[in-house]
A and B are shown apart, each in its own frame.
Chain A
Amino acid sequence: MLKAQLLLLALMSAGIGCSPSFDPPSEVKSVRVLATRADKPYGAPGDTVKLDILAFDGRPSKPEPMDVFWFTTPCINPLNDAYYNCFPGFAKTFKPGIDLTPRLDMGTSFSFDLPADVITTHAAPQSGDAYGVAVVFSMACAGHVQYMAPVSGGAPDALPFGCFDDHQTQLDANDFVFSYSLVYSFSEETNANPVITRLTQGGAPVDPDLGVTVEHCTQGKIDDCPTTPLDTVVLEANQELTPANRDASGDPLKEEIWVDYYVTAGKPKNETVILYDTHGGRTPNTGDDFHAPQTAGEYLLWAVVHDNRGGADWLEVPLHAN
């Protein structure tokens, strides 16, 4: 009980103390993975599931190009469903110090088969539907991928792979992203990806080919730059019931759906905006304000929509700063 209180009070106090300021997460200036999308977020046992990845190389200089590598064997039902409990299995498959490119798939999509026994081989949950889970690992890397032997007694979630250049120098966090995707399989529950209907600027629909046009900003601080209103429209029919999640009265809750904005220049006022709340449905204000870039040029803007059960959709549009 006390912990619950502390949790809440920490939340309250988070807005009252003074936090350090960093570059916003929406700013894409390095190798980034923004999302993956499974064509079947909740697959059935035996289904073939296709994953698409949204990755982008935002580095101002690119000594080596970025590629997306997929680890071809999904990890099925790791202990406690924790992705890092798959890591010990890599030690049996890979040796340190070797370029793994020949053993990995490359590209922006990857398909795999959910095992027919994915549910039956999973430990029975404490309550609710029986389920299984597949964890698919990928790596966006501006070099090649090497396995790194785990440090004895080290953190269990320490990254097991590194991104290395041709000189065997390990590249830093600007040059790679190690990511994982979860694909669940429930005996009863189903799930569909949310779908972005359109992006609007100032209330008018944005043509995905023409993109968003703004005047570049001449202010010294990005937060002082003029804003243009953006809104990502997802129709209410996309918010599915989640029978397993119930409120205090026992009534089933709906999905939470939110949008993450990413840009190569400029800054959204909020990187993440809740579009649909689990309790209250569509939120009163789904829009965001976008601060114009400080330099004229051609840029990119992404709206990535997620639901809280692994569904996703995204929209990439050009951003013109005159």
Chain B
Amino acid sequence: MFVSIAERFRVARALVFLALIFASLAARAQQMDAAKGSTITPPRLKTDSGAEYPAQALHDQVPASVTVTLILEISTDGAVAKADLQTPQGHGFDEAALAAAHKLVFEPALRDGTPISARIKFQYVFTPPAPRLVGRVARQVSDRPIAGAQVKVRDASGGEHTTSTAPDGSWGFLDLPPGHVHILVSAAGQMPVDSEEDLASGQETSLTLRLSPELASTPVAESAPGAEAPVEIEVRGERPPREVTKRTLGKEEIEHIPGTNGDALRSLQNLPGVARPPPFQGALIVRGSAPADTNIFVDGTNIPLIYHFGGLSSVVPTELLEKIDFYPGNFSAVYGRGMGGVVDVGLRDPRSDGLHGLAQVDLIDARLMLEGPVFKTGWKFLVAGRRSYFDAWLGPALKRTGAGVTTAPRYYDGQAMLQRDIDSHSSFRLTLLGSNDALKILNQTPDSADPTFAGQLGYSTSFWRLQARYQNKLSARTELRVTAAYGVDAIDLGVGTNLIRTTLHPVSARAELSHKVVRGLSANFGVDLVYEPYHVSLSVPPTVRPGQPSGGPGQVPVRVTTSETLFLPAGYAELEVVPWRGGRIVPGLRADYDSSTSSWDFSPRVNGRQDLTTGFPRTTLKAGAGLFYQPPAPIGTSQGAIDTGTQTMLSSNRAIHYDVGLEQEFTANIDLSFDLFYKSLNHLVVSDAGNSGDGRAYGAEWLLRYKPGGRFFGWVSYTLSRSERRDTPAEPLRLSEYDQTHILTLIGSYKLGRGWQLGGRFRLVSGNLYSPTSYGAFDATTGSQLGVATFPPNGSRLPYFHQLDIRADKTWLFPSWKLNAYLDVQNVYYAKNAEGIGYNYNYTQYGYVTGLPILPSLGLRAEF
């Protein structure tokens, strides 16, 4: 199918008509002027070059005509002085209409023959261009064209269209309606063939049909099955590429990245492939996947949260970290039950060289840590804790707004560790870690749009894990690692009569045996078990899929209470093969069982690397492909929607990751990483629609990095990507709510000397998507005015986000301890970034909701 991009941009049928704005106003003005004896002539259109049908609407496959209404201010010379949207429609229609409106020329309005300025209502009606169906008919073997063949097309409404092929075998229909068509081609002396196609607005479908000679002795009925004519369908467009990578941040980078308050896990948001989450949403959006698709592990044990609420800080403090391994895709068979990325946080062992401690305070929280040997027992200990104290000032501030505050927002986390090296080959460690966030307020003055979403608002989320780890290097060739954990996860959210309460008791165990078989060949075998009893209580409004409107606040809620047990055993095997110099291939296979679906998922994966040069500077090619499954969640879907968890006969969500990339060293400090990725998603669980969803995410990532080591570190990270979803195969792909086309991050930090360090971070990111909403029905039962969101959803994008953060550190060194003070200022130049759209009560006016103003944070840290 040859789809001409130029044709897509060709002017669509743009019907233009004029109406007097504020008809009653004008009428009244005329009445008033008539009373004064004046005569008013409205402006008349002189020149209109029409509006282009937007390319975005073509891509989104907007199926119907769309009307954009503008309010134009016509100056006395007939030019359009100002054009405003009355009701945005998204999908590029608004921009196209505004661009066209500014080229309009009018004869100005007249009062008693004298030109006056005027305001009028003006509408553009965008009608999707008709699909085109073209093709060629040729002989089966020789591929020579067949002239004069009859091509008969039956369209979706049953209408029949007939044409004959030209001498070169070509044929075409330019005005068919969108939808399913049946094509039948016949020619003298040839066996007829037929084909079925789906035509979409603005797209060109191209077929090549090859006919076989008629055999007089062979009945058609017998020959038909085996003689099915091959149909070649060609789609013009860029083939999505592939990629694979793993990223690691160093301690110095983590502690000094501006805008993160030295928080390790928040620093992940500066890496390629990670989207900028909306403010105060601690979500990790990796390569266009939903946050729920990315798994977070602490030393191989899954934890439910990565950030305290608001994304203010991580649930595991930076000081405890040994490493953060971040896999944006194509992770090894060690990890499963996830389609997005993986973050595996490695905790360090306690120090054995005497007693050490740390105390840190900033405007948000305070933390303490103490570690050292337990006398001369061979055991080492570490205890750490953190509590936020912004409830001290946020609580009174909320009370001043009229809210009744029972528990002001607060969080805390704690960690305790005991570790012992049993001998030179083996060690044992016991770790307890947990986190708790809570608030409870009474909102007495809710938004009039949905007063049922008000009253007592309670929120509590907590988890803890007790983890035991045993490592033993059994021989020079064999190593055993065993981790087991038990814990509790609890979420309790209540707003008015809405309630979500879940309690999980996960028991998990991992064991991996690594064995070096021969030189150049290692094997890893492992088991990964999760046994998880859980209880869920829900009382929530009926669920709707993206783009499907809510039934209004007056609906009876869906109430579900269930207690079940998930059993998720898995096993994996992985080889590490070095077949030749500079090459490394890692094939793996993982098998996952899910008791909720009573089915096994098998995930073959392979990753490979090849050094193209020997020695410095190194050039490495890397690539990977693999299958990834994610079991249906008890509640919630990969699409981010709340699902009531009552669907049956589900299977796992599935993704296929493809990766290809290049790493290039330039100097000892500077290297470049370039990656292409393509992620195919299918069998996605959709609210009330089973595994009907699918989608894809693809893009390119660049990371030019200056490694720490000297006075400077920094990087330039850029991601170009696209993420699309649909809920059923019959729908066109739409942009996912996690799509961010451009993500540019520049980071630099420089040691000035005398303990001073100064850094900055600049981000330029595509705005988040939204669905423009206009005037809808009024729910008279609850007094709520409803809006009508444009369909398909996510048709418009907020303006670009840009922000500069700076950070200054000063460190004082003393004989036995050191003191560090830092000032971290976010949004230095006060960019008023749009983070959402706000509407008036009946959706006839709108404006941007802007994000945070300048946000300084001051901190002190003492270590000994």
Contact = CB atoms under 8 A, between A and B. Distances in A.
A156 B549 contact: yes
B42 to A, nearest CB: 14
Contact of B556 (A15, A53, A184, A247): A184
B64 A152 contact: yes
Contacts of B550: 82
Nearest to A153: B63
Interface in B431-457: 439, 442-448, 451-452, 454-457
Contacts of A18: 832, 849-851, 853
B840 A81 contact: no
Interface residues of A, number: 92
A1 B540 CA distance: 13
Given A4-B493, A272-B448, A126 B642 contact: no
Interface in A265-294: 270-274, 277-280, 283-285
Contact of A280 (B279, B456, B537): B456
Given A152-B63, A181-B780, A277-B455, A173 B775 contact: yes
A181 B781 CA distance: 5
A248 B494 contact: yes
A19 B836 CA distance: 9
Contacts of B785: 25
Given A248-B537, A283-B442, A285-B402, A157 B780 contact: no
A83 B461 CA distance: 35
Interface stretch (A5-13, A112-120, A197-205, A210-218): A5-13
A154 B852 CA distance: 36
Contact of B779 (A22, A25, A180): A180
A7 B780 CA distance: 26
A169 interface: yes
Nearest to A54: B780
Nearest to B311: A9
A17 to B, nearest CB: 5
A246 interface: yes
A20 B847 contact: yes
B291 interface: yes
B425 interface: no
A131 interface: yes
Contacts of A17: 279, 835-836, 849-852
Contact of B549 (A8, A84, A245): A84
A304 B783 contact: yes
Contacts of B641: 3
Interface in B473-532: 489, 491-497, 499-502
A291 to B, nearest CB: 15
B777 A274 contact: no
Given A9-B280, A273-B445, A274-B455, A157 B788 contact: yes
Given A274-B445, A279-B455, A283-B442, A128 B845 contact: no
Contact of A1 (B64, B635, B849): B635
Which of B454, B560, B832 has the largest count of A CB atoms less than 10 A from its CB? B454
B608 interface: no
Nearest to B492: A248
Contacts of B439: 8, 12
Interface string B771-782: 000011111111
Interface string B297-313: 00000001100011100
B401 interface: yes
Contact of B282 (A9, A22, A270, A272): A9
Contacts of A219: none
B636 A9 contact: no
Nearest to A133: B556
Given A1-B635, A280-B456, A156 B548 contact: yes
Given A35-B783, A248-B537, A274-B446, A9 B281 contact: yes
Given A17-B849, A81-B555, A157-B776, A4 B445 contact: no
Contacts of B49: none
A16 B788 CA distance: 26
Contact of A285 (B444, B554, B844): B444
A131 B554 CA distance: 14
A165 B846 contact: no
Nearest to A158: B788
Which of B497, B790, B842 has the largest count of A CB atoms less than 10 A from its CB? B497
Contacts of A127: 559-561
B780 A308 contact: no
Interface string A31-60: 001111000000000000000010000000
A272 B445 contact: yes
A184 B782 CA distance: 13
Given A3-B636, A3-B642, A12 B309 contact: yes
B791 A154 contact: yes
A1 B636 contact: yes
A266 B273 CA distance: 51
Interface in A127-147: 127-128, 131, 133, 138
A216 B320 CA distance: 64
Contact of B457 (A11, A23, A81): A11
B838 interface: yes
B401 A15 contact: yes
B459 interface: yes
Contacts of A9: 280-282, 309-311
B281 A280 contact: no
Nearest to A37: B780
Given A20-B846, A22-B840, A274-B446, A182 B281 contact: no
A217 B806 CA distance: 47
Contacts of B443: 274
Interface in A168-215: 169, 171-173, 175, 177-182, 184
B146 interface: no
Given A178-B777, A277-B442, A277-B455, A126 B646 contact: yes
Nearest to B121: A172
B283 interface: yes
Contacts of A13: 278-281, 310
A247 B292 CA distance: 27
Nearest to A1: B491
A15 B790 CA distance: 26
B568 interface: no
B28 interface: yes
Contacts of A35: 780, 783
A2 interface: yes
B644 interface: yes
A151 interface: yes
Given A173-B844, A274-B455, A260 B291 contact: no
Nearest to B456: A279
Contacts of A152: 63-64
B789 A155 contact: yes
Contacts of A6: 281, 283
A45 to B, nearest CB: 17
B409 interface: yes
Interface in B810-854: 832, 835-836, 838-842, 844-853
B436 to A, nearest CB: 14
Interface in B532-590: 537, 539, 542, 548-552, 554-561
A273 B778 CA distance: 19
A293 to B, nearest CB: 19
Given A7-B493, A126-B644, A82 B555 contact: yes
The 8 A-B residue pairs with the shortest CB-CB distance in the complex, in nearest-first order: A20-B847, A153-B63, A25-B841, A82-B551, A22-B840, A13-B280, A179-B778, A36-B780
Given A8-B493, A184-B556, A256-B452, 18 more contacts: A1-B636, A4-B491, A4-B493, A6-B283, A9-B310, A10-B278, A12-B439, A20-B849, A24-B841, A25-B842, A82-B542, A125-B556, A126-B559, A151-B64, A155-B549, A179-B780, A306-B783, A312-B783
17 contacts: A12-B310, A13-B280, A17-B849, A35-B783, A80-B542, A131-B556, A152-B64, A156-B549, A159-B788, A182-B555, A245-B557, A248-B501, A253-B497, A272-B445, A283-B442, A284-B442, A310-B554
